[in-house]
Amino acid sequence: MSTFLGLPTAPHAGHLRGDGLFPAAAADAVKDSQLRRNIGHATATIRAKRARVVDEVPDWQQLREAGRAIKAETMAHLDRYLVQFEEAFTARGGVVHWARDADEANRIVTSLVQATGATEVVKVKSMATQEIGLNEALEAAGITPYETDLAELIVQLGNDRPSHILVPAIHKNRSEIADIFRREMPDVPGDLTDEPARLADAARLHLRRTFLTARVAISGANFGVAETGTLSVVESEGNGRMCLTLPETLITVMGIEKLVPTWRDLEVFLQLLPRSSTGERMNPYTSTWTGVTPGDGPQDVHLVLLDNGRTAALADEVGRSALHCIRCSACLNVCPVYERTGGHAYGSVYPGPIGAILSPLLTGLHDEPENASLPYASTLCGACYDVCPVMIDIPTILVHLRNRKVETSKADHKVPTPEAVAMAAMSYVWSDNRRWALAERLSRLGRVLGRRGKISRLPFPGSRWTRSRDAPVPPVESFREWWAKR
Partner 1 sequence: MRIALFATCLVDSLFPDVGKATVTLLERLGHQVEFPEAQTCCGQMHVNTGYQPEALPLVRRYVETFEPYEAIVAPSGSCVGSVRHQHAMVARKYADEALAVRAEAVAAKTYELSELLVDVLGVEDVGATYPHRVTYHPTCHSLRMIRVGDKPLRLLRQVRGIDLVELPDADVCCGFGGTFAVKNSDVSTAMLADKMTNVLSTGAEICTAGDSSCLMHIGGGLARLSTGVRTVHLAEVLASTAGPAT
Spatial strand order of the sheet with 300-306 comes to 95-99, 300-306, 249-255, 216-219, 120-123, 144-147
97 C-beta neighbours (distance < 10 Å), count = 18
What is the footprint of partner 1 within residues 26-65 (CB under 8 A)? 26-27, 30-31, 36
SS3 190: coil
Q: Classify residue 98 by burial, with Cβ atoms within 10 Å: 0-12, 13-18, 19+.
A: middle
Q: Of residues 367, 443, 451, 457, which one binds partner 1 by CB under 8 A?
A: 443
Query: Total residues at the site for partner 1 (CB under 8 A)?
Result: 66
470 C-beta neighbours (distance < 10 Å), count = 16
| Segment interacting with partner 1, rule: CB under 8 A, options 145-153, 215-223, 292-300, 372-380 | 372-380
Nearest alpha carbon to residue 366 among 63, 116, 11, 101: 11
402 lies in the binding site for partner 1 (CB under 8 A): yes
| Segment interacting with partner 1, rule: CB under 8 A, options 11-19, 204-212, 236-244, 425-433 | 425-433
| Segment interacting with partner 1, rule: CB under 8 A, options 99-107, 229-237, 265-273, 404-412 | 404-412
> What is the rounded (10 degree) CA torsion for 57, 63, 67, 69?
160
| Segment interacting with partner 1, rule: CB under 8 A, options 20-28, 141-149, 151-159, 205-213 | 20-28
Q: Of residues 430, 447, 451, 457, which one binds partner 1 by CB under 8 A?
A: 430
* DSSP string across 323-389: GG-----HHHHH-HHHHHH-SGGG-SSS-HHHHHHHHHHHH-STT-HHHHTGGGS-----HHHHH-T
| Segment interacting with partner 1, rule: CB under 8 A, options 9-17, 185-193, 235-243, 456-464 | 456-464
Q: Which is nearer to partner 1, 79 or 386 (CB)?
A: 386
381 lies in the binding site for partner 1 (CB under 8 A): yes
103 lies in the binding site for partner 1 (CB under 8 A): no
Distance of CA 367 to the CA centre of its chain: 21
User: Residue 380 CB, nearest distance to partner 1 (Å)?
Assistant: 6
User: Residue 195 CB, nearest distance to partner 1 (Å)?
Assistant: 31
11 C-beta neighbours (distance < 10 Å), count = 15
Spatial strand order of the sheet with 230-235 comes to 259-260, 223-225, 230-235, 285-289
User: Residue 313 CB, nearest distance to partner 1 (Å)?
Assistant: 19
99 beta partners: 306
Q: Which is nearer to partner 1, 283 or 478 (CB)?
A: 478
- Sequence-separated (6 or more) residues with CB below 8 Å from residue 353: 331, 332, 335, 338, 378, 384, 394, 398
Q: Of residues 111, 281, 433, 457, which one binds partner 1 by CB under 8 A?
A: 433
Q: Which is nearer to partner 1, 294 or 434 (CB)?
A: 434
The length of the chain in residues reads 486
User: Residue 146 CB, nearest distance to partner 1 (Å)?
Assistant: 36
475 lies in the binding site for partner 1 (CB under 8 A): yes
Q: Are 261 and 73 a contacting pair, CB within 8 Å?
A: yes
403 lies in the binding site for partner 1 (CB under 8 A): yes
* DSSP string across 156-173: HHTT----SSS-TTTT--
Answer positive or negative: Cα dihedral of 285, 301, 265, 309: negative
271 lies in the binding site for partner 1 (CB under 8 A): no
Q: Which is nearer to partner 1, 195 or 432 (CB)?
A: 432
**Is cis: bond before 461, omega within 30 of 0?**
yes
DSSP symbol at 421: H
User: Residue 193 CB, nearest distance to partner 1 (Å)?
Assistant: 33
Site string for partner 1, 332-351 (x = CB under 8 A): ----xx--xx----------
Q: Which is nearer to partner 1, 122 or 345 (CB)?
A: 345
Rounded distance between C-alpha atoms, residue 284 and residue 274, angstroms: 9
| Segment interacting with partner 1, rule: CB under 8 A, options 155-163, 185-193, 255-263, 462-470 | 462-470
Tell me the pairing of strands 230-235 and 249-255: unpaired
Q: Are 190 and 224 a contacting pair, CB within 8 Å?
A: no
User: Residue 169 CB, nearest distance to partner 1 (Å)?
Assistant: 22
Q: Of residues 432, 447, 451, 457, which one binds partner 1 by CB under 8 A?
A: 432
What is the residue type of 278? Answer: T
Q: Which residues bind partner 1 (CB under 8 A)?
A: 22-23, 26-27, 30-31, 36, 336-337, 340-341, 375-383, 385-386, 395-396, 399, 402-407, 419-420, 423-424, 426-427, 429-433, 436, 440, 443, 454, 456, 461-462, 464-465, 467-472, 474-475, 477-480, 482-484
